[in-house]
A and B are shown apart, each in its own frame.
Chain A
Amino acid sequence: MRVLVVEDDPALRLGLSRMLQAEGWQVDAVTDGEFALTATATEHYDAAVLDLGLPRRGGFEVLRNWRTQGKDLAVVILTASDGLQSRLRGLNDGADDYLAKPFEPEELVARLRAIARRRRGSSSNLLVAGALSFNTDTRELRNGDERLPLSPREAALVELLMASPSTAVPKSRIISTMSSWESNFSANAVEIYVLKLRRKLAGAGVNIVTLRGVGYALEVR
């Protein structure tokens, strides 16, 4: 999952980025509303953690812009304004969730995971394809009872493919999800990770099929 953190406080911005990266997500962080709109104009994000009191363009304005432009990224508002009016306005303007500061870090992560599950149309944190199961919370991949160790990027690729088995996942989506501004991800890098994953999944009863000019799909044998 690729997440955009929009927060003007430098300490909180860095702390959020580090925490979400530790979950295995690709994270970009921007300091104000203008940068947030620029980032989403050029990159695809699955979710955003959005502060309201932002320089240049406020959080509500950014949120309205995203929804007006049809951006479907999940948005969790994270702000010190915990009044009812502010919460109602945020949710009515298209936020998926609202969290007031101070917050428990685990709660923010859990809410982001829950939003991701809802967007997949599932209430479970387990993605299943044949004998393979991937826990989106613990980032664990199992072949039956056997645990298959994965790097964070491999886990991100598995999550993408297992979220909709037998369905093509565009290469551009994979690049976008596995990239961040700090570590840009190329098409060649995708192929390398697909190759690594094919080796790890050999004997698991699944194939990663290359769909030329489109992307990849996970098929159960």
Chain B
Amino acid sequence: MSTTAKSGASPSPRWLRASLWRQLLMPLVGLWVASAIVATGAAYQFAGRTTDQSFDRLLADDARALAAQLRWENGEVQFVASRETADSLVFDSLSRSHYTVRTAAGRKLVGDLVLPLPSSETPPPPDTPLFFNHAAEGGLMLRAVALRMQPTSGDESAWVVVAESKAKRQQVTNEIALAIFLPAGLAGFVIIPLLYYGIRHGLATTRHISALVVQHGENDLSPLSVEEVPEELRELVQHTNALLQRLKASIDEQRRFVADAAHQLQTPMAGIRLLVDDMRRIQRADPLQPMDIEVLAQLDEVATRGARMVRQLLAYARAEEETQVENQVFDATSVALQVTQRWQGPATAAGKTLAAPRQTPSSGDCSVDGSPTLLGEVISNLIDNALRYGGPHVAVDVVAQKSSVHIRVIDDGPALDAPTRAQMLLPFWRGEHGQSEGSGLGLSIAQRVVERMSGKFDVRVGPGGTGTCCDINLPRSAFR
């Protein structure tokens, strides 16, 4: 028999198992930190540019103020203000400014430092400020503006160069960026606790639902109230209620079954008790009296019957568990053949014929999913029933159809009416008046196992309107 085990489910991803509280808080905190960093960076960039432009304008104004002190006489340029006046024109309280006023030929007119001209191949138009950076001695970075002055083309050209340290610009930029970042950072100390308490408050609903579940006793499977549940969790609670309902139905069925089973065992147990009492009474009256053969035979019979019922009860209980544990792809025809071969001896002993399923190329692929062991037990039960209560000829056949596989156990005994066929599927039904010697569980087990294997079990009148046909209809395996 060929079987293939099916793989189990993969473990759930780690994020699914993480705390809901963390899943909600972390993205919000991350978003806040990222936005604070981006805002500060952008502020730094924009503040730097704006500061540069403002200070450049002030620098150009200083250069123009100095340039206003130039006079041309006969084409020659002169700086008419004193050195002190020139110093006061470029005075800056933050950091000292430097300047040089010179002719294009290099004659110095006034200045506190020798500043270079911008490295431009073509001289700029007159009165147009040209900004450039200059590294002074000692590594001091300077920002400078050069203004070429030449009232007419015949006049001597003069350069006014004013420079100042870039440090003060950096200082202002940093102060602006800090002014933006600090409030944002401080806001975090308020926002994070607010988020924490907000999420905690929001998740209080889940604790409320937990409390509702905890308040349910172990035997209380009534639905949870959806009235006090937020919309987002309502679907979860509704699904949980549906699960509780299915669980209740299943437990009710189990309880009924256990009650029925106990009910069925009461009579033989009472019989055993009385027979043992009788043996004890006889033994007390006459210890030498031989064992009563009739009583012993009855005890043997009731023990055999009890053992059979216990086997059937165990098979019934195992039906659900094993269809989950043993889930394979297997060939239904092979299982049916093996079981039929096992029953050939008992069939012959009962004076009946048992026809095995024929495995021909036209039979098709009869692979199904589920437990071959349990399917074997089901077919075995059906053959046992057919041999006990059916006609002289019993046949087992397996037929593959487009999407299903039919395993049929057919006998040619008397046909049963529809109500009887329906009652036969109830647990512990043992004939119209309980005359059957079986436990009344065989067909219930068959139905339960077949349903657990996603199939259908049906008891019909046999072909030609006579006998009984037990039909196991299983879906063909998708893994064949």
Q: Would you call A103 and B281 a contact (CB within 8 A)?
A: no
Q: Tell me the B232-273 residues at the A interface (CB within 8 Å).
A: 263-264, 266-273
Q: Other than the known A9-B302, A14-B274, what 20 A-B pairs have Cβ atoms closer than 8 Å?
A: A10-B298, A10-B302, A11-B271, A11-B298, A11-B299, A11-B301, A12-B268, A13-B271, A14-B294, A15-B273, A15-B274, A18-B295, A33-B433, A56-B433, A58-B433, A80-B263, A101-B266, A101-B269, A102-B266, A105-B273
Minimum CB–CB distance for B342 against chain A, Å: 29
**Within the assembled complex, what's the spacing in Å between the Cα atoms of A48 and B298?**
22
Q: Would you call A14 and B433 a contact (CB within 8 A)?
A: no
Binary contact track A67-90/B, C-beta < 8 Å → 1, others 0: 000000000000011000000000
Q: Is B180 an interface residue (CB 8 A)?
A: no
Binary contact track A22-44/B, C-beta < 8 Å → 1, others 0: 10000000001100000000000
**Within the assembled complex, what's the spacing in Å between the Cα atoms of A57 and B434?**
11
Binary contact track A95-128/B, C-beta < 8 Å → 1, others 0: 0000001110100000000000000000000000
Of the A-B pairs whose beta carbons lie under 8 Å apart in the complex, a sample of 9, sorted by A's number, is A11-B271, A12-B274, A18-B275, A18-B278, A19-B274, A51-B267, A101-B266, A101-B269, A102-B270
Chain A at the B interface: SS class: loop
Q: Would you call A14 and B271 a contact (CB within 8 A)?
A: yes
Q: Is B155 an interface residue (CB 8 A)?
A: no
**Within the assembled complex, what's the spacing in Å between the Cα atoms of A12 and B431?**
20
Complex contacts, A55 vs chain B, CB 8 Å: 431-435
Q: Is B277 an interface residue (CB 8 A)?
A: yes
**Within the assembled complex, what's the spacing in Å between the Cα atoms of A210 and B478?**
91
**Within the assembled complex, what's the spacing in Å between the Cα atoms of A115 and B434?**
30
Question: Which residue of the partner chain, among A13, A14, A54, contacts B434 with CB atoms under 8 Å?
Answer: A54
Q: Would you call B270 and A12 a contact (CB within 8 A)?
A: yes
Given A18-B295, A22-B278, residue A101 in contact with residue B267 (CB < 8 A): yes
- Give the nearest-CB partner of A11 in chain B: B271
Complex contacts, B433 vs chain A, CB 8 Å: 32-33, 53-58
Chain A residues packing against B (C-beta within 8 Å): 8-16, 18-19, 22, 32-33, 51, 53-58, 80-81, 101-103, 105
**Within the assembled complex, what's the spacing in Å between the Cα atoms of A80 and B268?**
11
**Within the assembled complex, what's the spacing in Å between the Cα atoms of A221 and B39?**
130
Complex contacts, B435 vs chain A, CB 8 Å: 8, 32, 55-56
Chain B at the A interface: SS class: helix
Complex contacts, B299 vs chain A, CB 8 Å: 11
Minimum CB–CB distance for B297 against chain A, Å: 9
Q: Would you call A14 and B275 a contact (CB within 8 A)?
A: yes
Of the listed residues B271, B275, B281, B435, the one surrounded by the most CB atoms of chain A closer than 10 A to its CB is B271
Complex contacts, B294 vs chain A, CB 8 Å: 14
Of the listed residues B272, B274, B302, B432, the one surrounded by the most CB atoms of chain A closer than 10 A to its CB is B274
Complex contacts, A19 vs chain B, CB 8 Å: 274, 277-278
Of the listed residues A16, A18, A81, A105, the one surrounded by the most CB atoms of chain B closer than 10 A to its CB is A18
Q: Would you call A103 and B270 a contact (CB within 8 A)?
A: yes
Q: Would you call A102 and B275 a contact (CB within 8 A)?
A: no
Binary contact track B204-222/A, C-beta < 8 Å → 1, others 0: 0000000000000000000
**Within the assembled complex, what's the spacing in Å between the Cα atoms of A32 and B431?**
14
Q: Would you call A15 and B268 a contact (CB within 8 A)?
A: no
Q: Would you call A9 and B275 a contact (CB within 8 A)?
A: no
- Give the nearest-CB partner of A32 in chain B: B433
Q: Would you call A9 and B271 a contact (CB within 8 A)?
A: yes
Of the listed residues B264, B277, B434, the one surrounded by the most CB atoms of chain A closer than 10 A to its CB is B434
Complex contacts, A9 vs chain B, CB 8 Å: 267-268, 271, 302
**Within the assembled complex, what's the spacing in Å between the Cα atoms of A8 and B435?**
8
- Give the nearest-CB partner of A51 in chain B: B267
**Within the assembled complex, what's the spacing in Å between the Cα atoms of A15 and B434?**
20
Q: Would you call B268 and A105 a contact (CB within 8 A)?
A: no
Q: Would you call B270 and A15 a contact (CB within 8 A)?
A: yes
Complex contacts, A54 vs chain B, CB 8 Å: 433-434
Minimum CB–CB distance for B154 against chain A, Å: 132
Q: Would you call A15 and B275 a contact (CB within 8 A)?
A: yes
- Give the nearest-CB partner of B260 in chain A: A80
Complex contacts, B277 vs chain A, CB 8 Å: 15, 19, 105
Minimum CB–CB distance for B290 against chain A, Å: 16
Complex contacts, B432 vs chain A, CB 8 Å: 55
Given A32-B433, A55-B435, A58-B433, residue A102 in contact with residue B281 (CB < 8 A): no
Given A53-B434, A58-B433, residue A15 in contact with residue B271 (CB < 8 A): yes
Q: Would you call B298 and A14 a contact (CB within 8 A)?
A: yes
Minimum CB–CB distance for A109 against chain B, Å: 11
**Within the assembled complex, what's the spacing in Å between the Cα atoms of A56 and B431?**
10
4 A-B pairs with least C-beta separation:
A15-B274, A11-B271, A12-B271, A55-B433
Given A10-B301, A58-B433, residue A80 in contact with residue B271 (CB < 8 A): no
Minimum CB–CB distance for B298 against chain A, Å: 5
Q: Would you call B434 and A18 a contact (CB within 8 A)?
A: no
Minimum CB–CB distance for B461 against chain A, Å: 24
Minimum CB–CB distance for A46 against chain B, Å: 20
**Within the assembled complex, what's the spacing in Å between the Cα atoms of A80 and B242?**
35
Q: Would you call A11 and B434 a contact (CB within 8 A)?
A: no
Complex contacts, A14 vs chain B, CB 8 Å: 271, 274-275, 294-295, 298
Complex contacts, A8 vs chain B, CB 8 Å: 434-435
**Within the assembled complex, what's the spacing in Å between the Cα atoms of A68 and B268?**
32
**Within the assembled complex, what's the spacing in Å between the Cα atoms of A126 and B434?**
42
**Within the assembled complex, what's the spacing in Å between the Cα atoms of A181 and B299?**
23
**Within the assembled complex, what's the spacing in Å between the Cα atoms of A18 and B278?**
6
- Give the nearest-CB partner of B279 in chain A: A18
Minimum CB–CB distance for A24 against chain B, Å: 13
